[in-house]
A and B are shown apart, each in its own frame.
Chain A
Amino acid sequence: MSLGILRSRAISLASKRFLCTNAASASPPLPPPPSAASPSRWSFLKYALVGALTGGTVFAGYASYAYSLDEIEQKTRSLRESAKYTAGDGVTALDKFQGLLYSTAMTVPAKAVELYLDARRVIEEQVKSYTEPYTDKLLPDLLPQEQHVFTLVLDLNETLIHYIWTRDTGWQTFKRPGVDAFLEHLAQFYEIVVYTDEQNMFVDPVIERLDTKHCIRYRLSRPATKYQDGKHFRDLSKLNRNPGKVLYLSGHALESCLQPENCLPIKAWQQQDIDDTALLDFIPFLEFVARSSPPDIRPVLASYQGCDIPSEFIRRSKEHQRRMQEQKNRGRFWK
Chain B
Amino acid sequence: MADSSSNSKDHHNTRVYHPYQDLNVPIQKLYNLPTAPEHLFPEEAARTHRSWGDNLQYYTGSGYLAGALIGAARGTVQGLREAESGDSLKIRLNRVLNSGGHAGRRLGNSLGVVGLIFAGLESGMTYLRGTDDLVNSAVAGLGTGTLFRAAAGPRSAAIAGAIGGIAAAAAVSGKQALKRYVPI
Binding site for B on A (CB under 8 A): 161, 169-175, 177-181, 184-185, 206, 209-210, 271-272, 274, 277, 280-281, 283-284, 310, 314, 317-318, 321
A161 engages B40 (CB within 8 Å): yes
Can you list 25 pairs linking A and B with CB atoms under 8 Å apart?
A: A161-B40, A170-B44, A172-B39, A172-B45, A173-B39, A173-B41, A174-B38, A175-B38, A175-B40, A177-B33, A178-B2, A178-B17, A178-B31, A180-B2, A180-B3, A181-B2, A181-B4, A184-B4, A185-B29, A210-B40, A274-B36, A277-B17, A281-B19, A283-B19, A314-B22
Chain A binding site: helix, strand, loop or mixed by DSSP?
helix
Residue of A nearest to B38 (CB): A175
Q: Which residues of B contact A181 (CB under 8 A)?
A: 2-4, 31
* Given contact pairs A181-B4, A317-B23, A171 touches B37 in the complex (Cβ within 8 A): no
Q: Which of A173, A174, A177, A317 contacts B2 (CB 8 A)?
A: A177
Binary contact readout B1-39 vs A (1 if CB under 8 angstroms, 0 otherwise): 111100000000000010110111000010101111111
Q: Which residues of A contact B37 (CB under 8 A)?
A: 174, 271-272, 274
Rounded to whole angstroms, the CA-CA distance of A219 and B129 in the bound complex is 44
Binding site for A on B (CB under 8 A): 1-4, 17, 19-20, 22-24, 29, 31, 33-41, 44-45, 47
Rounded to whole angstroms, the CA-CA distance of A178 and B31 in the bound complex is 8
Q: Which residues of B contact A185 (CB under 8 A)?
A: 29
A280 engages B33 (CB within 8 Å): yes
Q: Which of A206, A274, A280 contacts B31 (CB 8 A)?
A: A280
Rounded to whole angstroms, the CA-CA distance of A161 and B38 in the bound complex is 10
Q: Which residues of B contact A177 (CB under 8 A)?
A: 2, 33-34, 38
Rounded to whole angstroms, the CA-CA distance of A181 and B1 in the bound complex is 9
Q: Which of A179, A272, A284 contacts B23 (CB 8 A)?
A: A284
Rounded to whole angstroms, the CA-CA distance of A283 and B4 in the bound complex is 13
A178 engages B33 (CB within 8 Å): yes
A175 engages B39 (CB within 8 Å): yes
Q: Which residues of A contact B34 (CB under 8 A)?
A: 177, 274
B31 engages A172 (CB within 8 Å): no
Q: Which residues of A contact B4 (CB under 8 A)?
A: 181, 184
Rounded to whole angstroms, the CA-CA distance of A284 and B23 in the bound complex is 9
Q: Which residues of B contact A178 (CB under 8 A)?
A: 2, 17, 31, 33
Residue of A nearest to B18 (CB): A280
Chain A proximity of B108: nearest CB distance (Å): 27
Chain B proximity of A146: nearest CB distance (Å): 25
Q: Which residues of A contact B36 (CB under 8 A)?
A: 274
Q: Which residues of B contact A180 (CB under 8 A)?
A: 1-3
B2 engages A179 (CB within 8 Å): yes
Chain A proximity of B37: nearest CB distance (Å): 4
Knowing that A161-B40, A277-B17, A314-B22 touch, tell me 17 more A-B residue pairs with CB under 8 angstroms.
A170-B47, A173-B40, A175-B2, A178-B17, A180-B2, A180-B3, A181-B3, A181-B4, A181-B31, A206-B40, A209-B41, A272-B37, A274-B37, A280-B17, A280-B19, A280-B33, A318-B22
B22 engages A209 (CB within 8 Å): no
Rounded to whole angstroms, the CA-CA distance of A45 and B34 in the bound complex is 80
Residue of A nearest to B42 (CB): A209
